[in-house]
Structure 1
Amino acid sequence: MNIRSYQTQDESDVIALWETCGLIRPWNDPRRDIARKLTEQPELFLVGTESEKLIATAMVGFDGHRGWVYYLAVDPGFRGRSYGKALMREAERLLMERGCPKVNLLVRNSNKQVIEFYRSLGYVQDEAISLGRRLIPDLPA
């Protein structure tokens, strides 16, 4: 798998992958999420390709205190090849280059398979509760 930064022509393939992987929620418009990411550290929006086919994504960011990873996705037809692990290692490398001391990520409690994936990479559950508050309604246009 080749890993590179997102390009604008990737948008429809990225959204299709996120839909296939069950990452899209009614309250998050994926086009708006992409547009927002492109305003901050766009080079950290990673895609994985194989033979020119977009098969993986990871949206990475660093706020100066912690690194974050969102939208890690691997096409189901390409799983079991360590592509998710490769994307996470590249995300970690890029964050370490920026002096990032720790990576955080959010996984839904019900997603046991993904929780085990991250545990296999050395991630542990923090003793913290994630709280959120929507500032901008984000219903699909």
Structure 2
Amino acid sequence: MSDLRIRPAGLTDIDTVLRFWREAAEGTSISDDHDGVARLISRDPEALLLAERDGRLVGTVIAGFDGWRCSVYRLAVHPGSRRQGIATALMEAAEERFLALGGRRADAMVLEANERAHHTWAAGGYHREDHWRRWVKPLSD
């Protein structure tokens, strides 16, 4: 795994990240556009972590901390690079970031139908909390 490099995304990475998510990520988000990712990077320049191998993007995770909660989104690994420890390395980097910022617990958004992701998160020590449900309200059309 020594050839894997994990670094924060910059504004110049946005188009590459959006293309990557269309191929590697499950589901979509209302913020999966250039402006949404640019806002994330501008507000918290170290939240979007990229995993690269040989200069090629092979994985992503968003490790957001608002001072209260540590939230994990968009853990995605390229289909041709799965089962090589990339997700584990990204999660370790996210958790190190949270600890350095004073975070106490990480919460991950995981699609119900994404069984493969359930196994990945469980292997990383995460567990489902069935007594919580996510409630959402779009703020724009």
Please confirm whether the aligned pair reaches a TM-score higher than 0.5, indicating the same fold.
yes
Q: Kindly provide the CA deviation profile for residues 7-50 of structure 1, in whole angstroms up to 9, marking residues without a partner as x.
A: 22222221111000244537444223202202321112110111
The one-letter amino acid paired with 1:129 is R
CA gap 1:45/1:136 in 2 versus in 1, 3 angstroms? same
1:32 aligns with 2:69: no
- 52-61 vs 25-34, which moves further: 25-34
Distance 1:44 1:105 in 2: 14
What is the TM-score when the length of structure 1 is the normalising length?
A: 0.89
Is 1:110 the counterpart of 2:137? The answer is no
What is the identity percentage for the equivalent residue pairs of Structure 1 and Structure 2? 27
Moved over 4 A (4+): none
Does the Cα contact within 8 Å between 1:18 and 1:24 map onto a contact in 2? Answer: no
SS at match of 1:134: coil
Name 2:51's counterpart in structure 1.
Answer: 48
Q: What is the distance in 1 between the residues matched to 2:47 and 2:30? A: 23
Structure number with higher relative contact order (C-alpha < 8 Å, ≥ 6 residues apart)? 1
What's the Cα RMSD here? Answer: 1.5
Secondary structure of the residue that 2:121 maps to in structure 1?
helix
Structure 1 equivalent of residue 137 of structure 2: 133
TM norm structure 2: 0.89
1:86-105 to 2 correspondences below 5 Å: 86-105=89-108
* Matching residue of 2:123: 120
The one-letter amino acid paired with 1:86 is: A
1:81 paired residue number: 84
- Which structure 2 residue ranges, 5 or more long, are not aligned? none
Give unmatched runs, 5+ long, in structure 1.
none
The yes-or-no answer on 1:58 pairing with 2:67 is no
Deviations 1:86-116 (A, max 9, x none): 0001000000001100111111111111011
